[in-house]
Amino acid sequence: MSKERQLRKQEEVRNTILDAARDIIAKDGIRGLSIRKITNAIDYSPAIIYHYFKDKNEIVETLVREGYERILASIGSVKRNENEPEKEIREAFTRYIAAALESPEYYRAVMLNDDPAVLKRTRLLEKGISERSQTLQMLCSSIQRGVNQGRFTPCDIELTAQILWTSTFGLIIKLMVEKDISRDQVNRLIDHQFTVLFNGIMSRNEV
């Protein structure tokens, strides 16, 4: 009983720390994160951090993993669309873009991070990666289906998935850098992105 409560209490403080860190990252970016800022925010002393985390890096890593998972989750619940896989893909990317744009600093922090520990989870460009990356796997399977059905032009599936992904990625990042693009223009860009890409991968007679 007491032990359970202790554990719960412990978890609670851990979360308080992570919450604060999350807020700071959202505001100042990962490099703006400092132990002091965290402990100031939660009214604890700097030393407390080292009770719950090995070092600053462990916090960052925890958050990065979490961030990655949140982004993944956004596309997890997309419904399969048996006959029109491109709609499925579009739905997934639309959610993904929305999720990313909702926590831009955070998305950047994860996706532009070249720390090996982070990369282990975010790699996408390697040949054969689709076997290891769930994200790419899903994308590949949709594309494969499209090809099988004759809706998509035959192609190297993985490579196509990668290009779809990086293209979307480029749009997202650029939108984040140019913070003040109007809602309207954002939508037009996203829409045209799909137009071009799907036009690029779909069979002539399907469009």
196 CB-contact burial (10 Å; exposed 0-12 / middle 13-18 / buried 19+): exposed
Q: How far is the CB of 9 from a copy of itself (least distance, A)?
A: 16
Q: How far is the CB of 165 from a copy of itself (least distance, A)?
A: 8
> Please, which residue, 59 or 171, has the CB nearer to DNA?
59
Question: How many CA atoms does the CB half-sphere of 121 hold within 13 Å?
Answer: 19
Told to check if 26 binds a copy of itself by CB under 8 A, we report no
CA–CA distance, 169 with 159 (Å, rounded to integer): 15
CA–CA distance, 8 with 93 (Å, rounded to integer): 37
Question: 35-94: which residues touch DNA (CB under 7 A)?
Answer: 35-37, 43-51, 55-57
Alpha-carbon separation of residue 3 from 22, 33, 50 (angstroms): 28, 33, 21
Token duo for residue 136: 């790419």
Residue 122 interacting entry, from DNA, a copy of itself, none, C-beta within 5 to 8 Å by type? a copy of itself
- Count helices and strands (H / E) in the chain: 10, 0
> Please, which residue, 19 or 178, has the CB nearer to a copy of itself?
178
> Please, which residue, 51 or 123, has the CB nearer to DNA?
51
Question: 109-168: which residues touch a copy of itself (CB under 8 A)?
Answer: 111-114, 119, 122-127, 153, 155-156, 159-160, 162-168
Told to check if 115 binds DNA by CB under 7 A, we report no
